Amino acid sequence: MTNETLKQPVIESMPRIGDKAPSFKAVTTQGEIVFPEQYQGSWVILFSHPADFTPVCTSEFMTFATLENQFAEVNCKLVGLSVDGLYSHIAWLRTIKEKIEYKGMKNVEVKFPLIEDITMEVAKKYGMMQPGESSTKAVRAVFVIDPRGIIRAIIYYPLSLGRNFDELYRVVVALQTADEFKVATPADWRPGDDVIVPPAGSCGVAKERMEGKDDIKCYDWFFCTKKIDKTKVMGAIKKAGK
């Protein structure tokens, strides 16, 4: 969509990190849902895909459906969306289960809800329609929403680029780790790697940290890490989700 006078893209309002996830009611392949209210108490990944019966989307759905239990173990539910209708969704998911064998995955049943959004109402609310990329198809958007219904991470991919679902899992676990242990996670962090402790809030603490007290390792006074082993991280996350 272009403002013809200025030749500038028209910026629609889009939800941002830290915002309450916009509410909607929708028809899905698993019945009607009320979002995000129905998901209170769970993490949820709301994601859009451009179209049913397309190859990149098919590879994504097979992968995500195969990983659904792994996400469930960290209290994270999945909800998909495209601007196709319900019968197209049903036919596509049946085809995936009955006919497609891909990278060792076969008989894959997509059990998470797939929203029909022919009116694009939800896609527009979430900034999933990005006309510079396509005015008729949603881009590959990912919203990670916490148990209070707050948007905690947003990732967008163009139509041609299939998502990395290990990365989406890493994002959910890293956010949960940050919440549970009041830490941050460094580049390429995975459970079991060192985490970053909050910066020293006083000269005294900065000095202590540099003297190597506690179990904290400092690269400089403002950049300190500590170990949390993988069992402890995953145990705390799974306990918090119960």
Q: Which residues are identified as catalytic?
A: 57
Residue among 14, 51, 74, 91 that touches ligand BEZ (CB under 6 A): 51
Strand boundaries in the chain, DSSP class E: 2-3, 8-9, 24-28, 31-35, 43-48, 76-82, 114-116, 140-145, 151-157, 195-196, 216-220, 223-226
Task: Give the binding range for ligand BEZ (CB under 6 A) out of 54-62, 165-173, 202-210, 232-240.
Answer: 54-62
Nearest to 172 by CA among 111, 241, 105: 241
131 binds ligand BEZ (CB under 6 A): no
Structure token digits, residue 56? 């990149």
Nearer to ligand BEZ, 55 or 132 (CB): 55
What are the strands of the beta sheet with 195-196, ordered from one edge?
A: 195-196, 223-226, 216-220
Nearest to 27 by CA among 89, 87, 86, 110: 86
Q: Could you give the CA distance from residue 69 to residue 51 in angstroms, rounded to a whole number?
A: 24
Tokens 């960290």 correspond to 74
Minimum gap (Å) between residue 232 Cβ and ligand BEZ: 39
Window 197-216: contact mask with ligand BEZ (x via CB under 6 A): --------------------
Minimum gap (Å) between residue 65 Cβ and ligand BEZ: 15
Residue among 56, 178, 184, 216 that touches ligand BEZ (CB under 6 A): 56
Residue among 42, 54, 66, 88 that touches ligand BEZ (CB under 6 A): 54
57-96 binders of ligand BEZ (CB under 6 A): 57
Task: Give the binding range for ligand BEZ (CB under 6 A) out of 52-60, 73-81, 106-114, 173-181.
Answer: 52-60
158-177 binders of ligand BEZ (CB under 6 A): 159-160
Q: Report residue 64: phi and psi, to 5°.
A: -65, -45
Q: Could you give the CA distance from residue 57 to residue 224 in angstroms, rounded to a whole number?
A: 41
Minimum gap (Å) between residue 4 Cβ and ligand BEZ: 27
155 binds ligand BEZ (CB under 6 A): no
Classify 198 as helix, strand or coil.
Answer: coil
Given the rule CB under 6 A, which residues bind ligand BEZ?
Answer: 50-51, 54-57, 137, 159-160
